[in-house]
Amino acid sequence: MSKNDSISKNSVVVALIWKFVERCGAQISSFVVSMILARMLLPEEYGVLSVLLIFITLSQVIVQSGLGTALIQKKNVNNNDYSSVLYVSIALATVLYVTLYVSAPFIAEFFDMPIVEQTLQVMSLSLFFGAGTTVLNSKLAKEMKFNVLCLCNIVASVVSGIVGIILAYCGYGVWALVYQHIANQAVALIAMEVATRWVPNGVSSVKQVKPLLKYGYKILIANIISTGYNELRSLVIGKKYNSATLAYYDKGKQFPHLIISNINTTIDNVMLPVYSKAQNDPQRLKQQLSLSVRVSSFVVFPLLAGLCIVSKPLVSILITDVWLPCVPFLVINALIYMLTPLQTANAQVINAMGRSDVFLKLEIVKKALGIIVLILSIVFFDDALYVAYGGLLIAVLSSLINMYPNTKLINYSYKEQLMDLIPNSLSTLLMSVAVWSVSLVIENDYVLIVSQVVVGVAVYILLSVLTKNSSFQYLLTVIYKKKSI
């Protein structure tokens, strides 16, 4: 049994590594394109992109989540299941495309941004490619073929990134990101199809998809609520204030999102099938969740804390001083994203146990609280910065809410989760003090950032060695054994 557990653990580690490499490659390419566009566009113009992504992101969630998660969670999946999900996803994409196409003029008028009409109508075409990648992504994830997923998504990201950079250089402005987004979805679909050579059945079975809908619709509703809520702040800021403020808010969110999306998506995609295999073993689930919490916080905490400290010179170097007003938003969002892996890991255990009903209830409660805080922030402060602070308050409350079910389902108490987080939190705090101290003696932005990174890495590793940090020792073991896996 010990040998089987070891093999299982090694498989999980390999999958996590491949998924992390994939996310890094994809996100870095998108980030480069975004930085180029930020240098070419004024904040007011860049705000148009933020409005566009509010509706595209929400539509993608409807097309690409729910059923995809249901496929991964289901123990025995056949070609009829995959085919049925494909046809349902295409149907959803068609309905959403028509809806967005017809609504585009009204959305443009609502935000007083005429260019939103045409760009939204064109960008919505990406939904059809997303319908296909939903099935193939789930198939590869179900089979734990994250190395194939990695290569497919990196190819898509690199190709679409080149398209975006060329178009930005040629002066296409906002349209560069539109075509880059469509190219990413299209190339990802083609690459996955070439890799899997999957052929759907000719006829969809309503009976086949019904059990998946029964589980998946709850996940879908929860994800719609979550994504809609996340985009609500951008919608409110864009409408109540102005496009420049919206651009600063979203750009501030983009920097920490680049870091957390790589790590969180890795945990999200890899750990759900892993947790699902242990869904009838609460003790094993508890051990896996504890490991996930400790390792993710070991990586996430210092990265985002360091980003907070170097935010001002980093923004100045990458996208010029014109974007410095985004720094306060960057710091607040970095603190918010620190808690994301904790929320995700707890939520995925709940989903893996088939308790999508609990997951949905949690999302409703969290988002109801979030809307209340958002309204209070606007009414009492009328400042976009306080809207962001409200998001930080909700992130803390959401973490506590997500943790609660697992105190009962797998007996993983609040105290135990807190104790798993304390060692990495203390090391991060001490590292942050050391990194901040460097700014007291160095003024040049380029030299400052390099020096702070070097000091931060050195201090954090030194503290991990001196305290014999269990997460650090675990990662070292993984690295040493990687060649033998």
Tokens of 286: 């508890």
Q: Are 285 and 275 in contact (CB under 8 A)?
A: yes
Q: Is 10 helix (H, G, I), strand (E, B) or coil?
A: helix
- Helix axis angle for 384-409 and 414-438, nearest 10°, is 140
Which of 18-27, 126-135, 366-375 comes out lowest in average pLDDT? Answer: 18-27
Name the band, by pLDDT with cuts 50, 70 and 90, for residue 485.
Answer: very low
- Residue 23: CB partners within 8 Å, gap ≥ 6? 153, 261, 262, 263, 265, 266
Name the band, by pLDDT with cuts 50, 70 and 90, for residue 401.
Answer: very high
- Residue 264: CB partners within 8 Å, gap ≥ 6? 296, 340, 341, 344
Q: Can you tell me which residue has the tokens 């808010």?
A: 249
Residue 84 clears pLDDT 60, i.e. is over it: yes
Tokens of 427: 């090391």
Q: What pTM does this model have?
A: 0.72
Average pLDDT over residues 455-467: 93
Closest CA to 307 of 371, 246, 263: 263
Distance of alpha carbon 156 from alpha carbon 151, whole angstroms: 9
Which of 87-101, 183-197, 211-225 comes out lowest in average pLDDT? Answer: 211-225
What residues does each domain of the chain span?
Answer: 11-240, 242-485
The segment with the largest mean pLDDT, out of 222-226, 265-269, 272-276, 379-383, is: 379-383
Q: Can you tell me which residue has the tokens 């675990």?
A: 474
pLDDT tens digits for 178-202? 898 899 899 999 998 888 888 887 6
Distance of alpha carbon 176 from alpha carbon 181, whole angstroms: 9
Distance of alpha carbon 20 from alpha carbon 32, whole angstroms: 18
The segment with the largest mean pLDDT, out of 65-74, 143-152, 184-193, is: 184-193
pLDDT tens digits for 310-354? 999 999 998 888 899 999 999 999 999 998 878 888 887 887 777
Closest CA to 271 of 2, 20, 6: 20
Q: What percent of the chain has pLDDT over 90?
A: 25
